[in-house]
């Protein structure tokens, strides 16, 4: 259910919508178990070569951090919208803006990992890793300086400058310092889930509008019912969230993050298929049904298990 009891309309999510939310939450939790199941890269795996090429702040460690961040955002969404335990009379009410904000944060976090992994071979991936790493240390130094912590600021700048000293032709100094923004990485990563760059940009901008309190977010995501004209040209209005828009952003964020984890696991040299199957099965076992919805849940779980078996390559 979206909205609240304090003047905003309450919209009951349809049965199909609840099933789609359930699947998205399972994807988010499956990503967590898959990521937890793998460790260091296997010898001579694609990402192992990246760590050998730049063995200091290893790309695999930073990629894992980006993916962990994405999953944490989605787990908060999942724990609210699709809790693993239900009780009689339980009702979940969500507000649209935080919903979009969590999904936007997940997409931005995962997009950094995907953008790196789409680099052209080990050299291309390491180049992108170093560009992000340089910016990370720069931002850490700015935050420490604002907090008056000169020691931390100096340490972060020292780590940043050490990157430039170790380049050894891997990336030009100008490119290392060139501007990077989330939108470019989001657009470049859209192909991971077979979405167009423009399509994913629209979703990202809409979610960003929610995060920053922009008025047009409501126009883009709600139905408007015009009421009385209280002044010439001004009307009272009731805004109702559109279910499909809510479902699209959360399905996209969860699918995108799970797909990013899948690519990372394969890049480490592990077989992501069996890990995906066991992780998803664990998530399904841990999630109880809402009272009165047990039969529907079992039908949904059966269809999901069939889909997971196909995706993991099982017979």
pLDDT at 238 over 50: yes
Helix, strand, or coil (residue 178): coil
Determine the pLDDT at residue 229. 81
Closest among 37, 18, 107 to 283, alpha carbons compared:
37
pTM for the predicted model, two decimal places: 0.90
What percent of the chain is predicted at pLDDT more than 70? 89
Tens digit of each residue's pLDDT (9 = 90 or more) over 19-59 = 889 889 999 999 999 999 999 999 999 999 999 999 999 99
Determine the pLDDT at residue 170. 79
Q: 136: which residues sit within 8 A by CB, 6+ positions away?
A: none
43: tokens are 């010898």
Determine the pLDDT at residue 315. 30
Determine the pLDDT at residue 82. 85
| Phi, psi of 40, rounded to the nearest 5 degrees | -65, 155
Determine the pLDDT at residue 5. 40
Q: If pLDDT is split at 50, 70 and 90, which confidence band does 296 have?
A: low
pLDDT at 292 over 70: no
Average pLDDT, the chain: 88
77: tokens are 């969404």
Q: 227: which residues sit within 8 A by CB, 6+ positions away?
A: 235, 236, 237, 238
pLDDT at 4 over 60: no
Average pLDDT for residues 282-286, to the nearest whole number? Answer: 86
User: What single string gives the DSSP state of each residue in 157-169?
Assistant: HHHHHHHHHT-TT
Determine the pLDDT at residue 305. 66
Residues 172 and 196: their CA atoms lie apart, in Å, by: 30
Average pLDDT for residues 7-15, to the nearest whole number? Answer: 72
Residues 99 and 243: their CA atoms lie apart, in Å, by: 12
Tens digit of each residue's pLDDT (9 = 90 or more) over 154-168 = 999 999 999 988 887
Q: If pLDDT is split at 50, 70 and 90, which confidence band does 288 have?
A: confident
């Amino acid at each position: 259910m979206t909205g609240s009891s304090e003047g905003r309309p309450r919209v009951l999510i349809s049965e199909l919508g609840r099933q789609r939310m359930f699947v998205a939450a399972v994807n988010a939790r499956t990503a967590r178990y898959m990521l937890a199941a793998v460790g260091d890269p296997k010898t001579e795996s694609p990402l192992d070569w990246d760590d050998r090429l730049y063995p200091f702040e290893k790309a695999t460690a930073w990629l894992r951090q980006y993916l962990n961040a994405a999953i944490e955002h989605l787990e908060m969404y999942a724990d609210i919208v699709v809790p693993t335990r239900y009780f009689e009379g339980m009702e979940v009410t969500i507000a649209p803006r935080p919903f979009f904000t969590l999904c936007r944060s997940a997409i931005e976090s995962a997009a950094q990992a995907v953008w790196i992994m789409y680099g052209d071979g080990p050299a291309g991936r390491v180049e992108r890793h170093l560009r992000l790493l340089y910016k990370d240390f720069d931002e850490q130094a700015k935050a420490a300086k604002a907090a008056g912590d000169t020691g931390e600021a100096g340490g972060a700048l020292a780590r940043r400058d050490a990157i430039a000293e170790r380049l050894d032709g891997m990336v030009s100094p100008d490119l290392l310092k060139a501007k990077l923004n989330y939108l470019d990485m989001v657009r470049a990563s859209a192909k991971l889930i077979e979405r167009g760059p423009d399509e994913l940009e629209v979703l990202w901008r809409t979610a960003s509008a929610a995060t920053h309190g922009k008025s047009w977010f409501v126009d883009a995501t709600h139905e408007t019912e015009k009421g009385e004209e209280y002044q010439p040209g001004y009307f009272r209005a009731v805004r109702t969230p559109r279910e499909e828009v809510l479902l699209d952003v959360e399905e996209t964020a969860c699918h995108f993050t799970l797909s990013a984890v899948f690519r990372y696991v394969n890049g480490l040299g592990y077989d992501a298929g069996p890990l995906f199957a066991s992780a998803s099965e664990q998530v399904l076992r841990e999630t109880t049904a809402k009272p009165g919805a047990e039969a529907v849940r079992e039908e949904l779980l059966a269809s999901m298990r069939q889909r997971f078996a196909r995706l993991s390559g099982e017979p």
